[in-house]
Amino acid sequence: MTHFTKIIVASLLATPTLIGCSSAPPIESTTNSAQHYIDFDQCQEAADLIRPVVDQWPGEWKAQFILGRAEMCLGNLNEARHALEAANSRKPNSMDVVFALADCMQKQKDIPELYLLLRNAGAEFRSAEAYVKLAEIADSTGDMDSEKTALLAAIELDEGYGMKRIISPYLQMSQLQEKLGDQADALRRLRQAYGVNPNDPRVQSALLARGQVLGPTLALPGGI
């Protein structure tokens, strides 16, 4: 076989592979398009578009994430959870993935696994937001002990580590303490929230409703 013939044979053998590759959906552009559908609540379109990508490249966490969100939007919770768990296993430090999986678990009423997911995310990635999410879910189930524990963890994480301060754990803790009848600590938590962000209208409204005069002397430093 001449050198020229070898080149022709090699080209012919390579052709099916090239054709096969060209028929595969491009990952990035398809993912971006599916994300666009999700953003506009076109969930069926998103699912139909992204599913071939997931089938061909199951290791693509973002494709799994988008498919999970689309399936959850469509009410297919088992399929959604499978995709979101796959995304979380490949991108465990994405709070967007964690929160989407948490939403799916909540819809499935799988509270034990939901608590475990958010506790692990809060501890491993030092995420105050994960603990706040856990507290919100605990509040919705009437589990005040878990709510308080999660809020204290969020407040502790949000103190002194160079993280951007958030007021949500202080606001929620104030509401919880009010339910528990501890008005003094409820006010203290509001004053801490005011110290973190004195311009937040929710904080201002809650303090004014308690007859407080807004100003620098009202603010308290954040922390446990």
Structural domain contains residue 21: no
Q: How confident is the model at residue 157 (pLDDT cuts 50, 70, 90)?
A: confident
pLDDT at 161 over 60: no
Based on the fold, state whether residues 86 and 143 are members of the same structural domain: no
Q: How confident is the model at residue 164 (pLDDT cuts 50, 70, 90)?
A: low
Q: In the prediction, which pLDDT does 10 show?
A: 36
Q: Give this prediction's pTM.
A: 0.81
Structural domain contains residue 176: yes
Q: In the prediction, which pLDDT does 23 show?
A: 52
Look up the domain containing 59 and give its range: 37-109
Q: What are phi and psi of 185, to 5 degrees?
A: -75, -30
Structural domain contains residue 3: no
Reported as a single tens digit per residue, the pLDDT across 33-86 is 999 999 999 999 999 999 999 999 999 999 999 999 999 999 999 999 999 999
Structural domain contains residue 221: yes
Q: In the prediction, which pLDDT does 159 show?
A: 59
Residue with tokens 């799994």: 64
3-class DSSP string for 125-186: CCCHHHHHHHHHHHHHCCCHHHHHHHHHHHHHHCCCCCCCCCCHHHHHHHHHHHHCCCHHHH
Structural domain contains residue 177: yes
Based on the fold, state whether residues 87 and 168 are members of the same structural domain: no
Reported as a single tens digit per residue, the pLDDT across 208-218 is 999 999 999 99
3-class DSSP string for the chain: CCHHHHHHHHHHHHHHHHHHHHHCCCHHHHHHHHHHHHHCCCHHHHHHHHHHHHHHCCCCHHHHHHHHHHHHHCCCHHHHHHHHHHHHHHCCCCHHHHHHHHHHHHHCCCHHHHHHHHHHHHHHCCCHHHHHHHHHHHHHCCCHHHHHHHHHHHHHHCCCCCCCCCCHHHHHHHHHHHHCCCHHHHHHHHHHHHHHCCCCHHHHHHHHHCCCCCCHHHCCCCCC
Q: In the prediction, which pLDDT does 25 show?
A: 67
Based on the fold, state whether residues 205 and 155 are members of the same structural domain: yes
User: What is the pLDDT averaged over residues 124-145?
Assistant: 94
Structural domain contains residue 186: yes
Last residue of a domain, one of 65, 92, 109: 109
Number of domains in the chain: 2
